[in-house]
Structure 1
Amino acid sequence: MKDRGQNCMDKEVSTSSLIEFGKSHINGIESFWGVAKTRLSKFKGIHKSTFYLHLKECEFRFNHRNDDLYRLLLNLINKRQLKLF
């Protein structure tokens, strides 16, 4: 990814990440990037210092897109015994 200024990033995708399943071609990074771009565009700009955290949230949501995030987060909090207050 190349930095194009304050809030713009260019992406470069290698075709080596293309995986063939039967007659269907799936490019995992393109799928993730589409979801991340849609989610991040709602912020109308993200500071460089927090971009990584926003991207990590997108990664978590993408990897668990078929799960109940509420229950998943509750389980993670209980396992680590995090104190919210």
Structure 2
Amino acid sequence: MIASAPSSASVPPDIAALSFEDALAELERIVRQLEEGRGKLDDAISSYERGTALKRHCEAKLRDAQAKIDRITVSADGTIGAEPARID
């Protein structure tokens, strides 16, 4: 089963306001904390949930950036055009 793309509504407003770089930095901090096992279980669960929302936000930002990148093409008859880039 393929998961559908998350909507921006599934991201809390405070996370939606973050830049990609700020969201990624916070996500990395959360991952380090979880890997180190610091804190109580309830705090770890809350951090994991926030990390999940940060990940969705970062993925959405990357999809938006990818959609804005065009690849210039030249057809056989010399017509110049553009098509969405395929960045995998």
TM (norm. structure 1) is: 0.28
Q: Greater RCO between the two (CA within 8 Å, min separation 6)? A: 2
Q: Which has a greater percent of helix?
A: 2
| Larger gyration radius, structure 1 or structure 2 | 2
